[in-house]
Amino acid sequence: MSDAAILRSTDGEVGILTVNNPPVNALSAAVRTGLGDGIKAFAADPAIKAIVVIGGGRTFIAGADIREFGKPPAGTSLHDVIAAMEDCPKPVVAALHGTALGGGLETAFGAHYRIAGPQARVGLPEVHLGLLPGAGGTQRLPRLAGAEFALEAMVSGRHIPAKEALSKNIVDKIADGDLLAAAVAYARELVAQGAPLRRIRDLPVKLGSPTAIEDFAKSIARKARGFKAPWNIIKTVQAAVDLPFDEGMKRERELFAELLTSSESAAQRHYFFAEREAAKVLDVPADTPQREIKTGGIIGCGTMGGGIAMNFANAGIPVTVLETSQEALDRGMKVIRANYENTAKRGGLTADQVEQRMALIKPTLSYDDLKDADVIIEAVFETMEVKEGVFTKLDAIAKPGAILATNTSGLDVNQIANYTKRPGDVIGMHFFSPANVMKLLENVRGKATSKDVIATVMSLSKKIGKIPTLVGVCEGFVGNRMLRQRGVQSAYMLEEGALPQQVDKVIFDFGFPMGPFQMSDLAGNDVGWRIRQGKKEKEQRNVRYTGYVADAICELGRFGQKTGAGYYKYNLPDRSPIPAPEVEKIIEETSKKLGITRRAFSDQEILERCLYPMVNEGAKILEEGMAQRALDIDVIWVNGYGWPVYRGGPMWWADNVVGLKAVHDALLKYRDMSGDPFWEPAPLLKKLVQENRKFSSL
Ligand code: NAD
């Protein structure tokens, strides 16, 4: 029976059920059925006095088998397994190590007692998939740990370490030494004591303050905006407080079903898989040999270089940072230290950890110190001349096989690679600002980039705490190239009759953290202004000039938040934006100068004009092979640009919420209204519509 999902064995009068479904003992149909059968068999066996349920290998049941979601139920249901444990006439002990998450922890809640290894972590993370614990977790956790704790734990979905779990009665004991031996000993002890068969369902729910649930709901209002699951979780806890157990379970089932069929959860489940898929490169097999990365080098210790260096230090990889002057070096290192010290002040690091991390970052002015680096990332000024200088030097000093990466946001990675005699070793690593915080990494594959370099950089990205994607060389890569489309239309809409606050509200209400004009005020309007001034021609790439309003605003020194004014005024202590009549005047004057009669905009039109061009650009990106799959684009937008995860990403949203035909037809409508070739649907979009297919089918 060694290939069975549940192994049965005995240690004297204790029956042992070992979950055997590597790698993480996911709750498959076979596991559920095996567990249910095992409990019944031991319950019926007069030689057995108590039962231990434990995970084989490195973990207890790490969670549900989420690939079973949406499929017709097979085998014994988890509810029945838990009921079998709970109703078992002999004490059942769950022994937890590794992670007991989601359905795994709910299974353990069926046991009468729980013992955990000191390193075990438990949790109910269903919220991350837009769901709630649907096998009694919402009714049992409040009975063990109190309503307040249950709310926080289920809405955050966080992992709870064993010690904390013990303090919250989620586990009854922490094991010393071998977990199975400790669990068997615990089971014997319970039998010897004649300990009661403690069913969690029979315990009362603890509620600290009568307004706790209401207060909690208020406290998450901002963070949970647009999501469905946190609100349904709150309702389940309310039910646990108000209703008898069986009625609470009924409520849990209803609220779970509501989420399971919701578009929000479908989007979040898509995203969950997308993030994992995005790390895989279609033509670079998983077994591609990788280069060893033991040390790193960073060129430039400015905004980006400093943040990138911190990522290496945080991962324990020593890194050398090079600057052009002692002053710049000192300034950069000072910012890094200040960042760490701020984290320490907030309790995120100890003073020792700050010093350990600082010790991993070695400042230098000499390229000689980079001779041994396994990977060197350039983050200097964004001009081709400076990049040329840096890559020529790197080519001369870097050891053979070193990976040479550029953090350019807009320059041609192929051209940069050609400044070296080893273009196969050159790749783009496009970090986002602040580089020590933002998780997204667009790794940019050049024409010559070799596969082992790609494989190494994709896995290095994960090591330094990033979510990697792979994109091709094109203007703006994937994220900024699509963002530009939204920027173009937002600018035109101001000229045609909309105001910044109206556009921003529509984008905020869609679920972004802020709209395009607030974002521009935050990033600094002067950045784009200087770039536009550098360009002689005002008309580019068939796109009508977009800078009339933005230029006029910058001419008044309204660079954004940093000057207290931009598209908005910022004189409140919390820096909230206040609409500015002066800006309204500038906008109206611009319309007049351009001979445009201002008109009213509906929210729907604003949304369509902001987002559909992004989808259209995404189609072009896919057609050109600049992203591997539609899901990579979704990962980039959710992670780097604040696209709400409960809307899956722009391509998933177009596929599943709007429908490609609706996007296509709207593009045609705007093309005909404006006569602007900007709106021409991408050939790929046209083709998919004709064939009634989705981006996800590519
Ligand atoms: P920055 O001006 O803050 O920093 C650049 C640093 O490079 C400065 O400290 C400068 O002294 C140093 N430097 C300049 N020439 C050098 C040389 N020859 N050798 C060594 N050091 C040199 O700029 P940043 O915002 O950090 O941008 C750096 C790169 O990252 C650019 O290519 C930029 O396009 C890209 N990038 C920036 C962002 C962002 O949001 N700031 C985002 C993604 C990518």
Q: What is the pLDDT of residue 542?
A: 57
Tokens standing for 27?
């709750």
| Ligand 1 pocket member 304 (CB < 6 A) | yes
The percentage of residues in the chain with a pLDDT greater than 70, rounded to a whole number, is 98
Catalytic one of 106, 252, 323, 605: 106
Indicate which atom in ligand 1 lies nearest the CA of residue 325.
Answer: 11
Residue from 311, 335, 409, 429 to probe ligand 1 pocket by mutation (most atoms less than 8 Å from CB): 409
Q: How many angstroms separate the CA atoms of 51 and 111, rounded? A: 9
pLDDT tens, residue by residue, 626-646: 999 999 999 999 999 999 999
Residue count (the chain):
698
Helix-helix angle 29-44:78-86, to 10 degrees:
20
Report how far ligand 1's centroid is from the alpha carbon of 196 (Å).
66
Question: Would you give the end-to-end CA distance of the chain in angstroms?
Answer: 42
Q: Does ligand 1 lie within 6 Å of residue 409's CB atom?
A: yes
Give the residue, out of 330, 380, 397, with the most ligand 1 atoms within 8 A of its beta carbon, to mutate for a pocket test. 380
Range in 157-171, 485-499, 541-555, 590-604 the model is least confident about: 541-555
Would the CB of 416 count as within 6 Å of ligand 1? no
Least confident of 64-78, 301-315, 579-593: 64-78
Q: What is the pLDDT of residue 544?
A: 81
Q: Residue written as tokens 């200088």?
A: 389
Residue 124 in contact with residue 153, Cβ under 8 Å? Answer: yes
* Each residue's pLDDT tens digit, 209-250: 999 999 999 999 999 999 999 999 999 999 999 999 999 999
* Residue 71: predicted pLDDT: 77
What pLDDT score does 1 carry?
43
**Is 366's C-beta closer than 6 angstroms to any atom of ligand 1?**
no
Average pLDDT of the chain, as a whole number:
96
Closest approach atom of ligand 1 to CA 302 = 4
pLDDT (mean) for 591-604: 97
Predicted local distance difference test score (pLDDT) of residue 536? 55
pLDDT at residue 204 is higher than 60: yes
* 407-451 tens-digit pLDDT: 999 999 999 999 999 999 999 999 999 999 999 999 999 999 999
Asked if 86 and 217 touch (Cβ cutoff 8 Å), the reply is no
Listed range (57-66, 485-494, 538-547, 670-679) with the worst mean pLDDT? 538-547
Helices (H), 134-228: 137-145, 147-156, 162-167, 179-193, 212-220
Question: Strands 113-116 and 173-174, how do they pair?
Answer: parallel
CA 263 to ligand 1 center in whole angstroms: 41
How far apart CA 310 and CA 358 sit, in angstroms, is 9
303 CB less than 6 Å from ligand 1? yes
41 lines ligand 1 (CB under 6 A): no
Question: Contact at 8 Å (CB) between 347 and 325?
Answer: no
Distance in angstroms (rounded) separating the CA atoms of residues 2 and 17: 12
User: Tens of pLDDT along 349-365?
Assistant: 999 999 999 999 999 99
Reply yes or no on whether 126 is catalytic.
Answer: yes
Q: Which atom of ligand 1 is nearest to the CA of 332?
A: 9
Residue nearest to atom 31 of ligand 1 (CA): 382
Looking at the predicted structure, is the pLDDT value of residue 2 above 50? no
Q: How far is the CA of 381 from the centre of ligand 1 (A)?
A: 4
* Arithmetic mean of pLDDT, 129-141: 97
Question: How many whole angstroms from 580 Cα to the centroid of ligand 1?
Answer: 33
Q: Looking at 13, 86, 126, 292, which residue is catalytic?
A: 126
